[in-house]
Amino acid sequence: QFRNSVADLFADFQPVWSKERGLSARFTSKGVTALQGMGGGRNTVMRKDGRISFNWGEVSPVPEVLPKEEFSSRWEGSVIAEETGVYEFVIRSQNGVRLHVNNWRDPIIDGWVSSGPDIREEKGTIFLLGGRSYPVILEHFKFKEKASSIELLWKAPNGVLEVIPQRNLVPYSTRETLVVSTPFPADDSSDGYPRGTSISKAWFDAVTSASMSAADTVSDRLDSFLWTKKDDPERIPKIKSYLRGVAAIAFRKNLTDEEYNSLVESRFAATPDKADIAIRRVVLAILTSPRFLYPSASDEEKPSQQVIASRLALTMWDSVPSRDLFRMANEGKLATPEQVRSYANGMLWDPRAREKLHGFFSHWLHLKDTNNIAKDTKTYPDLNEAVLSDLRRSLTFFIDDIVWNDSGDYRKLLSADYMVLNDRLAAFYKKEPVGPDFRKVTFEGSQRAGVLTHPYLLTSFAYFKDTSPIHRGVFLTRSIMGRALKPPPEAVEFKDAHFDPTWTMREKVTDATRSAACMGCHSEINPLGFALEQYDAVGRWREMDNNKPINTASDYPDDNGGTIRIASPKDIANYAIGSDTAKKTFIKHLFHHTNKQPLAAYGKDTEKNLVRKFAERGYNVRDMLVESALVATAQGMPPAPPKETASN
């Protein structure tokens, strides 16, 4: 939330609405000189390129127009970061190259001087926030070298080194984003979801360091944010007005003249000839102010419309209000519940709302626990980092397809009979080729049931060499069925070598958990895990385990004290879809992720009302994000319980 808020305070978020993908390319017959503003070339060719991977050899990119001896190339547009983290960019070329990402002035790769005829790799890293697009410029020139080529690659978080896919490139430039890369200590997750429950020295040090870094960046780049020049006589008044607007959004209120003079004018007056120092001091004061850092601390019984705008942005976007949203508040257009709901529904289609839901699904499906999957290379020789990276993307694309391209129906998340595959995954899971891009592929019969059988999760909740009905069953029990599990009475390590080597995994687990103390929980865990035994440790379908037919059927204790027969993932999906407990748990997870507060704190009827609305809206996940946000927007942070006083 701190990083997103800082990014959006100083430059309004720019979503990419265009469906066009690739980069705008320009080739000119002159070399180095033509790249200075891209002028002066005798012959120029313009086009759009999807992926930057070209080996022209001893000819030019456009032989009929450009000479092979000397030419220059320039690609412009934006790159979309799908996840938050460090991105490594790589250029392969034997020619002069330069790459700018989110910074027009300073390249992250500068290989402008070619060192010889061999293809070399130039690398640079940058921290980016997920769900956002960043301006990118790639420059290339050939001069006297015998051959020419260029390839633009990256290694994204949880990814592998690859040519940047076309889906991540946009042929239009966005504005620079102020990205804070300072590491922060992990949030407290002891309540089952991450939230800021305390202020530690490590957290305060991180905030201070991040604020100082942001202040330096704002001072250095403010003219590019405001489109001003150093010699503009109106530059200082424009900067002061801009900082006043930034502070208003950060503090969730319009500044009085007295507050403005104290925050801005006093600092410029202290350094009249050094505006850059004044800018740094104002920005540092804003970002370290309690009014910015603790948005709920100023909550009132009847919140102002600016506070309502702030709550909406924090719950829907993990950020501050956009300038448009803050303007709506200032104009009195967030005065009624209907007005707030209408604006919230529009906020839903901002990419930041999608990123917020990505965070929720990562939490709900325990994806942060799956970053270091390792399997036995002898048992699964064709499983590699590229397959695992594609599987993770496949899961995200599957969820996005249902939540954003379809009806958003929670039930389809559990029951859909298709996966999203590319050629690499299609080959791994024995399906027909589908092409290099990800596409929906339907599976026959009951082989697939939404996220329950997605191979990335099946692979994650499995052992090094074999399946793990216990890990899979625990995940399904807690996250999907919504049932609590007690800690085991004693920690027992599952040692495969201690069992009869002819046994199936089901026989081993049954033997290991047969005691009455274990079966208190494993009567629920084991049937769910056994129902997934026809998927091996990498999520591929199988009929046999250890040369024996697989038995997937078990009696499962239902919510009403009876039992039902479960023999497949479809049975699990159907039960969860019809279970009030499962749906309530899903809503609780979403609410906790959205508001960082327990659902019960907002009143005894809030859960019941959300469950009712979930059913009325066709179990639409998008609508539940809005409804969860509206609860907090209307009520604010729950009041602390009254302090106990000693009786007389």
pLDDT in tens, 85-96: 999 999 999 999
Tokens of 88: 């490594």
Dist. CA 290–CA 292, nearest whole Å: 5
Distances (CA, A) of 593 to 9, 135, 236, 347, 614: 23, 30, 41, 17, 17
Which of 123, 130, 127 lies closest to 152 in space, CA to CA?
123
- Tell me the average pLDDT across 16-35: 78
CA dist., res. 419 & res. 436, Å (int): 15
Whole-number pLDDT of residue 69: 84
pLDDT at 65 over 90: no
pLDDT tens digits, 482-521? 999 988 777 677 888 889 999 999 999 999 998 888 888 9
A 10 A CB-CB count for 398 gives 23
pLDDT band, residue 301 (cuts 50/70/90): low
Contact at 8 Å (CB) between 195 and 187?
yes
Could you give the domains of the chain? 17-170 (2.60.120.1560), 201-347 (no CATH), 363-578 (no CATH)
- Distant-in-sequence, close-in-space partners of 403: CB < 8 Å, separation ≥ 6: 357, 413, 621, 622
Tell me whether residue 410 is exposed, middle or buried, using C-beta atoms within 10 angstroms of its C-beta: 0 to 12, 13 to 18, 19 or more.
buried
Task: Among 40-44, 113-117, 317-321, name the most confident range.
Answer: 317-321
Average pLDDT, the chain: 90
Residue 398 is predicted with a pLDDT of 97
Give which of 475, 448, 447 is closest to 461, Cα–Cα: 475
Is the model's pLDDT at 645 over the cut of 50? no
**296: which DSSP letter?**
T
Whole-structure pTM value: 0.90
The C-alpha atoms of residue 633 and residue 313 are separated, in whole angstroms, by 9
R_g of the chain computed on alpha carbons? 28
Coil vs helix vs strand at 65: coil
Q: Is the pLDDT of residue 549 over 80?
A: yes
pLDDT tens across 350-383, in order? 999 999 999 999 999 998 877 789 999 999 999 9
> CA-to-CA distance for 72 and 35, rounded, in angstroms?
7
Residue 598 has pLDDT above 90, yes or no: no
pLDDT band at 14 (very low <50, low <70, confident <90, very high): confident
pLDDT at residue 648, as a whole number:
36
Q: Which of 445, 345, 434, 362 is nearest to 400 (CA)?
A: 362
Partnered with residue 188 across adjacent β-strands are: 195
